[in-house]
Structure formats: C-alpha cells, structure tokens
Amino acid sequence: MKSTTPAAVHAVADPHILDVREAGELAQARLEEAQHIPLGELVARLDEVPRDRTVYVLCHVGGRSAQATQYLEAQGVDAVNVDGGIVAWYRAGLPLVVGEG
C-alpha cells in the first residue's frame, strides 16, 4: 500500500482527495475540495471514485483510510493513504475548514 504525508498531498497540483470519515466528523473539520464517501458506503459507491487519476485517501488519523486504500487498490484504483489523516493535516498547518462554516 502506498502512503504519503499531508504536506506531500498539499504540494500536488489539484489532488483528488477522498475523505472516508463520517458526516459528523466532517462537521468538525474538513478539506474544502475533498470528495466525501464514508468508509461504510465505499463498496456501494465505488463507481464515484475516479480511475483516471491518483486518489489520496484521508480519514481521522489514518486507520480507515488505510483500509479504504487497500480496497481501492484491489479494485484497480491508484490510491494513496494520507498518513495521520486530518489530524496530521491540521498539525502541519495546512488549510482546512473548521466547524460547520
């Protein structure tokens, strides 16, 4: 399984980020342009995940995104786990939306 850091993802021009957290977690903090498919819905919504570009998979701290990355790779998607999830993204000082607004 491939993995990378939040800083490396942020340095990519127009990265496709897939956030596999639950809706309640998104209300706390989220990335403005990320696609959201909760991990529990990923199998049913697989056709919504792009196959023509790298998909960077994000969750809270990296556990669920690792599971999602392994599943996506098995389905032929070029998926990369974002180590440390949104917590590491926040700690790196990278842009995100905090709260509902």
Residues 101 and 99: their CA atoms lie apart, in Å, by 6
Q: What is the CATH number of the domain that holds 93?
A: 3.40.250.10
Domain that holds residue 85: 3-98
What is the DSSP code string of 12-70? Answer: SSS-EEEE-S-HHHHHHEE-TT-EE--GGGTTTTGGGS-SSS-EEEE-SSSHHHHHHHH
Torsion angle in degrees (nearest 10) through CA of 52, 80, 21, 85: -140
Q: Into how many domains does the chain fold? A: 1
Catalytic residue among 37, 39, 58, 59: 59
Task: Express each pLDDT in 7-27 by its tens digit.
Answer: 999 999 999 999 999 999 999
pTM given for the model = 0.96
Structure tokens at 12: 């990519």
Task: Express each pLDDT in 57-70 by its tens digit.
Answer: 999 999 999 999 99
Q: Is 59 a catalytic residue?
A: yes
Residue where the block lists tokens 């399984």: 1
